[in-house]
């Protein structure tokens, strides 16, 4: 009996090992092609397959919502996942391994820039096709990308520099209101600002500028937090930044020309998927550039020992101001995107609840790590959507998950790592 268990166990571990062996040699390019194939399969035959499997319609979020509502659909959803996602991914990734590796070798010889563009292009295509199935997916995807920007920008302040800033939703609000004001005033016929000043056709092209303006206003707001940070750290700065969050919120609530507590609505629909994707990619790119440079490593030096950093010629005050402004800038950009996704903002959406959400994503994913922030933002977002049918239990399961992560990995899932694009894309032949 015992021997039998050991035998089956070794057989299973052998299988797992074999599977790992075979996936280890698949480059990222082949995986992306696999995802693309899965998304395309769903796009073309998803309806038919879900009909034959007895599902009411294409399961939007890998069937999680459907299963949790009606457990009877479990076999159908399993079959659907197998046919639409797992099978195409494995088949394409396996078959495409050879050519993909050859292509990856070719790309590795050329510039990193071109290789990155090709990878991102494939990734975007897969996401676009996947999101085309339903508006719900599109919205979820956009909000997840905004969450990635938010988490990453907070990671620069809380993770890399080790300050505990609570004013991120405040920066986000500044960005959201500035960008909304600009687009409503210039490009939209609106009850607050009247008829548009410029032709609405220009809007989508000038939208990035509005986002940058939002970011700059948020960055200016961050100076208010950065100056006290010269003298205080830790809990005290957390309280100061929390106070800042409330100041921003109540100022906006009392400003009539941006709608006061009722908020602003009917922003033009400028936050398209490519726009948000572009925002996220540039955020990841710039943040990663910054934190891997010696100038950015100064943040870690300040966090670990400020006196030593100063004695080693690091200008700690300048670094702190720059970092706060930098983090706030991206929070502002994220706010601008967020306002144009929902096409409605009110001061209530930038309160403590939002702060808790961002902090949870940050600490779940991992401090001091770009990869961690991306993982944290994506997984918490997808989780909280997938568990939505559980209603009350969702708010037990997610915090419980956080507690477990904090117990076993106190700094988060993937903390203190460098995000190496080159390594990610390397051929594995």
Partner 1 sequence: MPLLRVDNMSHFFGGLRAVHKYNLVLEPGHIVGLIGPNGAGKTTIFNLITGIHTPTSGNIELNGQNLIGRQPHEIAALGLGRTFQNILLWRHMNVLEHVKMACYSQLEYGLFGAFFGTPRRHREENRITAKALHLLKIFELSEYQAQLVTSLSYGVQRRVEMARAMAINPRVLFLDEPTAGMTPDELNRMITIIRDIHQNFEVAIFLIEHRLKFVMELCERIQTLVFGEIIAEGSPEEIQNNPQVIEAYLGSEDVS
Shortest CB 297 distance to partner 1, Å: 6
Shortest CB 292 distance to partner 1, Å: 9
Any contact of residue 308 with partner 1 (CB under 8 A)? yes
The only residue of 315, 403, 406, 417 in contact with partner 1, by rule CB under 8 A: 315
Q: What is the DSSP string of 279-316?
A: HHHHHHHHHHHHHHSHHHHHHHHHHH-HHHHHHTT--H
The only residue of 13, 22, 293, 417 in contact with partner 1, by rule CB under 8 A: 293
The only residue of 97, 142, 168, 303 in contact with partner 1, by rule CB under 8 A: 303
Q: Which is nearer to partner 1, 178 or 368 (CB)?
A: 368
Shortest CB 312 distance to partner 1, Å: 4
Any contact of residue 296 with partner 1 (CB under 8 A)? yes
- Among 77-85, 221-229, 295-303, 347-355, which window interacts with partner 1 (CB under 8 A)? 295-303
Nearest to 150 by CA among 328, 381, 411: 328
Q: Which is nearer to partner 1, 182 or 314 (CB)?
A: 314
Shortest CB 85 distance to partner 1, Å: 36
Burial of 184 (0-12, 13-18, 19+ CB in 10 A): buried
Cβ neighbours for 399, distance < 8 A, ≥ 6 positions apart: none
Other Cβ atoms less than 10 A from the Cβ of 387: the count is: 19
The only residue of 138, 179, 309, 341 in contact with partner 1, by rule CB under 8 A: 309
The site that binds partner 1 (CB under 8 A) totals a number of residues, namely 28
Q: Are 182 and 210 in contact (CB under 8 A)?
A: yes
Q: Which is nearer to partner 1, 117 or 403 (CB)?
A: 117
Q: Which is nearer to partner 1, 305 or 353 (CB)?
A: 305
Q: Summarize the chain as % helix, strand, coil (round to 5).
A: 80, 0, 20
The alpha carbon of 90 is separated from its chain's Cα centroid by a whole number of angstroms, namely: 26
Q: Are 228 and 234 in contact (CB under 8 A)?
A: no
Shortest CB 274 distance to partner 1, Å: 21
For residues 404 and 417, give the distance between their C-alpha atoms in angstroms, rounded to a whole number. 21
Restricting to residues 208-227, which ones interact with partner 1 according to CB under 8 A?
Answer: none
Any contact of residue 294 with partner 1 (CB under 8 A)? yes
Other Cβ atoms less than 10 A from the Cβ of 220: the count is: 14
**How many residues are there in the chain?**
429
Any contact of residue 22 with partner 1 (CB under 8 A)? no
Restricting to residues 323-382, which ones interact with partner 1 according to CB under 8 A?
Answer: 368
The only residue of 242, 273, 300, 342 in contact with partner 1, by rule CB under 8 A: 300
The alpha-carbon radius of gyration of the chain (Å, integer) is 24
Any contact of residue 421 with partner 1 (CB under 8 A)? no
The only residue of 173, 211, 298, 328 in contact with partner 1, by rule CB under 8 A: 298
Beta bridge partners of 217: none
Any contact of residue 19 with partner 1 (CB under 8 A)? no
Q: What is the DSSP string of 219-271?
A: HHHHHHHHTGGGT--HHHHHHHHHHHHHHHHHHHHH-GGGTGGG-EE---S--
In the complex, the residues that contact partner 1 under the rule CB under 8 A are: 286, 289-290, 293-298, 300-301, 303-305, 307-317, 322, 368, 416
């Amino acid at each position: 009996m015992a021997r039998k268990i050991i035998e089956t166990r070794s057989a299973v571990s052998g299988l797992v090992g074999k599977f790992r062996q075979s996936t280890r040699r698949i480059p990222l390019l082949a995986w992306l092609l696999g995802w693309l194939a899965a998304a395309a399969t769903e796009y073309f035959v998803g309806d038919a397959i879900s009909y034959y499997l007895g599902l009411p319609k294409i399961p939007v979020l890998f069937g999680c919502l459907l299963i949790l509502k009606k457990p009877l659909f479990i076999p159908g959803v399993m079959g659907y996942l197998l046919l639409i996602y797992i099978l195409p991914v494995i088949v394409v990734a396996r078959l495409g391994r050879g050519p993909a590796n050859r292509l990856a070798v070719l790309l590795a010889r050329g510039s990193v820039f071109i290789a990155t563009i090709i990878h991102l292009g494939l990734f975007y295509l897969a996401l676009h096709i996947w999101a085309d199935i339903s508006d719900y997916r599109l919205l979820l995807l956009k909000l997840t990308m905004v969450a990635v920007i938010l988490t990453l920008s907070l990671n620069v302040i809380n993770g890399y520099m080790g300050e505990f800033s609570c004013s991120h939703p405040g920066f986000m609000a500044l960005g959201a209101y500035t960008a909304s004001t600009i687009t409503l005033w210039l490009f939209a016929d609106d009850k607050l600002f009247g008829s548009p000043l410029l032709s609405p056709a220009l809007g989508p092209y000038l939208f990035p500028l509005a986002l940058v303006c939002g970011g700059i206003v948020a960055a200016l707001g961050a100076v208010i937090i950065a100056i006290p940070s010269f003298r205080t750290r830790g809990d005290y700065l957390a309280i100061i930044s929390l106070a800042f969050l409330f100041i921003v919120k109540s100022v906006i609530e009392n400003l009539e020309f941006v709608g006061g507590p009722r908020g602003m609505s009917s922003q033009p629909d400028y936050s398209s998927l490519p726009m948000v994707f572009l925002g996220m990619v540039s955020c990841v790119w710039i943040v990663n550039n910054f934190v891997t440079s010696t100038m950015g490593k100064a943040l870690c030096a300040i966090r670990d020992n400020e006196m030593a950093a100063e004695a080693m010629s690091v200008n700690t005050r300048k670094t702190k101001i720059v970092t706060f402004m930098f983090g706030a800038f991206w929070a502002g950009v994220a706010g601008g995107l967020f306002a144009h996704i929902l096409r409605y903002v009110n001061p209530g959406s930038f309160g403590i609840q939002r702060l808790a959400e961002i902090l949870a994503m940050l600490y779940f994913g991992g401090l001091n790590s770009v990869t961690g922030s991306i993982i944290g933002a994506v997984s918490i977002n997808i989780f909280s959507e997938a568990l939505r049918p559980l209603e009350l239990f969702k708010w037990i399961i997610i915090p419980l998950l956080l507690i477990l992560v904090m117990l076993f990995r106190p700094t988060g899932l993937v903390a203190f790592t460098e995000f190496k694009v080159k390594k990610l894309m390397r051929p594995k032949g």
